[in-house]
């Protein structure tokens, strides 16, 4: 029900990420290999850091595969952090305010999956959002609401803790309404300095999530692949599904119920569990 990609590293032209691979995100918009839905044509969004204090976001309700403005931006924007998302709506309207990534200050947030029986639990979850943050919600997705729950629970200070408390509340409210498996999905968030990626589902059968092998290792494996020379040693991709299969060893699955941090220096991978309210 969506596919996404997060890039962290030396600045790259977005085209390389979005179009330049065998199974790049724009290819996935027409035919994803591992998605719950094959077609992700209900709009898309990209976020990046460059001019200005906050990241830029671009949202469109068109399918990504034939969108000319996305082609233009992809060729002409270079950034050290790129979030990109293609959407397969699970019912909420196709409109820009429902496109990921969502932004708050310097933070971006995107998600693949769903809060189960969302219309049933929505009101209870909305009531838990900090009333100061509530008016910021402009769309009708579960993802945007989850973002504001995470912000309410301290995302800006402790991302893993805030996400754990937000999902803990989602599970509590879901169970209160007899929803067996209230959450499913993968989440990416960033403050422009680090990128966090989460994989979790109440059911223990989460949507796929992968991260790229370290550039140093890949260069040793594939000394002739030029693009591996072009990016920095710390460059890393976190993706819903691999962008291709030409380089065996390039992609690693994020384990069930875990999260990773991509950051200057050593990246991290930890177990993840919701924290009940």
Just list the catalytic residues. 2
By the rule CB under 8 A, 179 interacts with a second copy: no
- Using CB under 8 A as the binding rule, the residues of this chain from 84 to 113 that contact a second copy are 89, 92-97
Q: If we measure between CA atoms, which residue out of 57, 154, 138, 68 comes closest to residue 100?
A: 57
User: Total number of residues binding a second copy (CB under 8 A)?
Assistant: 48
Q: If we measure between CA atoms, which residue out of 235, 184, 189 comes closest to residue 208?
A: 184
What single string gives the DSSP state of each residue in 245-257? SSSTTSEEEPPSS
Q: In this chain, which of 33, 34, 58, 225 binds a second copy, going by CB under 8 A? A: 58
**Does residue 32 contact residue 3 with C-beta atoms inside 8 Å?**
yes
- Minimal distance in Å, beta carbon 16 to a second copy? 11
- Minimal distance in Å, beta carbon 164 to a second copy? 25
Structure tokens at 275: 């924290």
Region of residue 204 (phi > 0: left; psi between -120 and 50: alpha; otherwise: beta): left
Q: In this chain, which of 22, 119, 180, 245 binds a second copy, going by CB under 8 A? A: 119
Report the alpha-carbon distance of residue 226 to residue 103 in Å, rounded: 34
Distances 97 to 19, 110, 174, 220, 248 between C-alpha atoms, Å: 24, 13, 25, 44, 38
**Selected range binding a second copy among 68-76, 173-181, 201-209, 224-232, rule: CB under 8 A:** 68-76
- Using CB under 8 A as the binding rule, the residues of this chain from 217 to 276 that contact a second copy are none
Q: In this chain, which of 22, 69, 217, 232 binds a second copy, going by CB under 8 A? A: 69
By the rule CB under 8 A, 134 interacts with a second copy: yes
Q: In this chain, which of 10, 140, 213, 257 binds a second copy, going by CB under 8 A? A: 140
Report which secondary-structure segment, H or E, holds 212: strand 210-212
Q: In this chain, which of 33, 34, 75, 247 binds a second copy, going by CB under 8 A? A: 75
Strands, sheet with 236-239, edge to edge from the N-terminal-most edge strand: 56-60, 44-48, 78-87, 2-13, 236-239, 210-212, 251-253
- Minimal distance in Å, beta carbon 71 to a second copy? 10
**Selected range binding a second copy among 46-54, 192-200, 204-212, 214-222, rule: CB under 8 A:** 46-54
**Residues within the interface to a second copy (CB under 8 A):** 13, 30-31, 38-39, 41-42, 48, 50-52, 56-63, 65-66, 68-69, 72-73, 75-78, 89, 92-97, 119-120, 122-123, 126-127, 131, 134-135, 138-140
């Amino acid at each position: 029900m969506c596919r996404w990609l997060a890039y962290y590293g030396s600045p790259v032209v977005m085209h390389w990420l979005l179009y330049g691979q065998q199974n790049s995100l724009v290819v996935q918009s027409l035919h994803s290999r591992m998605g719950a839905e094959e077609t992700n044509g209900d709009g898309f969004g990209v976020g990046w850091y460059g001019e200005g204090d906050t990241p830029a976001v671009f949202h469109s309700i068109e399918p990504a595969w034939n969108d000319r403005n996305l082609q233009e931006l992809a060729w002409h924007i270079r950034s050290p952090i790129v979030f990109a998302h293609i959407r397969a709506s699970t019912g909420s309207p196709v409109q820009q305010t429902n496109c990921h990534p969502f932004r708050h200050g310097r933070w971006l947030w995107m998600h693949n999956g769903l809060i189960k029986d969302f219309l049933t639990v929505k009101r209870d979850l909305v009531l838990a959002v900090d009333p100061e943050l509530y008016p910021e919600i402009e769309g009708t997705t579960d993802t945007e609401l989850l973002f504001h729950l995470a912000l309410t629970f301290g995302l800006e200070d402790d991302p893993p803790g805030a996400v754990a408390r937000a999902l803990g509340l989602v599970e509590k409210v879901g169970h209160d309404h007899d929803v067996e498996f209230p959450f499913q999905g993968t989440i990416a968030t960033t403050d422009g300095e680090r990128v966090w990626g989460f994989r979790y589902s109440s059911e223990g059968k989460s949507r796929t999530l992968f991260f790229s092998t370290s550039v140093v290792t890949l260069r040793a494996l594939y000394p002739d692949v030029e693009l591996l020379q072009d990016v920095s040693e710390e460059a890393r991709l976190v993706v819903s599904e691999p962008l291709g299969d030409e380089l065996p060893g390039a992609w690693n699955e994020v384990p069930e119920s875990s999260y990773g941090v991509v950051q200057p220096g050593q990246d991290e991978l930890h177990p993840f569990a919701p924290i009940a309210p």
